[in-house]
Amino acid sequence: MSRFLLIMTVLLTVSPLRAPLALASEAMHFHARPGNGLALTPPMGWNSWNHFGCNVSAALIEREARAMVASGMKAAGYRYVIIDDCWQAGRDANGNIYPDRKRFPQGIKPVVDYVHALGLKFGIYSDAGGQTCQGRPGSRGHEYQDALQYARWGVDYLKYDWCNTGGLRPREAYATMSDALRASGRPIVFSLCDWGVRKPWRWGAAAGGNLWRTTHDIWDAWSGQHGFSIGVMNILDLQVGLAGYAGPGHWNDPDMLEIGNGGMTDAQYRAQFSLWAILAAPLIAGNDLAHMDAATRTILTNDEVIAVDQDRLGIEGRRVYRQGDAEIWTRPLVGGGEAIVLLNRGTRPLRIRVTWSELGLPAYLPLRLRDLWRHKDLPVATGSVTFPVAPTSVIMLRETPVRPRS
């Protein structure tokens, strides 16, 4: 199985005053950055954008952080509480970024401290351009200054967008912010977001990224397009062929979870969660944690599906079968087993058969199977198994060999 090889070279250290010169020199000769040792499994957390958009405030972030703990999501592995666009208001006379003082009357640091006191981590948003996607101050020309500010506040994660970036080249611009984050002295997970336009899976790790968006924004729908946003099945199709670029510390990011936002059925939300887990994708919830129903909480805290996503082997799953609306996705796991997703994309019930040849196994090999949504062990099987799969839904399995494979 091919793995993306990150070339280890000397990290180019640049002072804040030399940042523009560094950007120009990197455009001529790019230096690959070594890994930062972070995000060795896909990040898990919550982001404000999908549900709240620009309606963010200190009170909201603190409320959602409390809900992450009370709901059991922290216990399930979720750690990052990430504020997206619209927290910024301007820059002071020295160029330091500051938040909207009406929404964050005490500033950002007290909010970060509150999140940390709950045993969680804090994430923030900026943009490589002069303005963010919502017209707030971006980081262009202030990369080192902003990185130092984030470090002073105690930020643990940066999502870095790509609006209003005329004249910039993504690889070099992201590398500059990566260098700035490292120079800040604080370990900060770096999330790249150019929406997959310049194929960041090819260069994102070398630019210092821990994860990179592979597609346009997600739309809370099974399929289709809504402006710049696309549905879950559209996003899934764009992941085919990208598995070799992901691994511990550097992940393909098919965008955030829509689970609980009301645009899809619970079965479709279970499908998104299953598919994101098989893809070794970041699990970043995008709903209102403080008001989610029991079904949403059950999906987001399914420990057996989360264990697949967080598998230490770090190999992204692949589509091994597709015929009409039926698909089979598999992912190798630590210990020699595999996760399997049987997907029915269509509107009619299907019976989907998975054969051992599609798993790369001999037909005579007996396998133990477990249904990860019903939390139920199934009979030992050999050769093949067939399952009825309801419309726009999945069956998710974990297989382990009855005896060690030769």
3-state secondary structure of 128: coil
Inter-residue contact 287 to 259 (CB < 8 Å): yes
Catalytic residue status for 217: yes
Residue 406, Cα to own-chain centre: how many angstroms?
35
The Cα diameter of the chain in Å comes to 73
Active-site annotation holder among 85, 217, 288, 309: 217
Tell me the H-state helices in 143-188.
Answer: 143-153, 170-183
Which of 380, 325, 376, 322 lies closest to 354 in space, CA to CA? 322
Give the pair of three-digit tokens for residue 195: 């929406």
Pairing status of strand 318-323 against strand 326-332: antiparallel
DSSP assignment of 348-395: S-EEEEEEGGGGT--TT--EEEEETTTTEEEEEE-SEEEEEE-TTEEE
Handedness of CA 313, 318, 320, 326 (dihedral sign): positive
| Alpha-carbon gap, residue 334 to 319, rounded angstroms | 19
Which of 254, 312, 248 lies closest to 284 in space, CA to CA? 254
Give the pair of three-digit tokens for residue 347: 């509107």
Inter-residue contact 340 to 396 (CB < 8 Å): yes
| Alpha-carbon gap, residue 32 to 6, rounded angstroms | 8
Residue 382, Cα to own-chain centre: how many angstroms?
35
Q: Which residues pair with 243 in a beta bridge?
A: none
Residue 178 φ then ψ, to 5° = -60, -45
Give the pair of three-digit tokens for residue 142: 């202030």
Active-site annotation holder among 85, 161, 288, 309: 161
Ranges assigned E (strand) in 94-195: 97-99, 121-127, 157-161, 189-192
Catalytic residue status for 127: no
| Alpha-carbon gap, residue 371 to 318, rounded angstroms | 19
Give the pair of three-digit tokens for residue 47: 């982001």
Which of 295, 301, 285, 297 lies closest to 52 in space, CA to CA? 285
Residues noted as catalytic:
161, 217
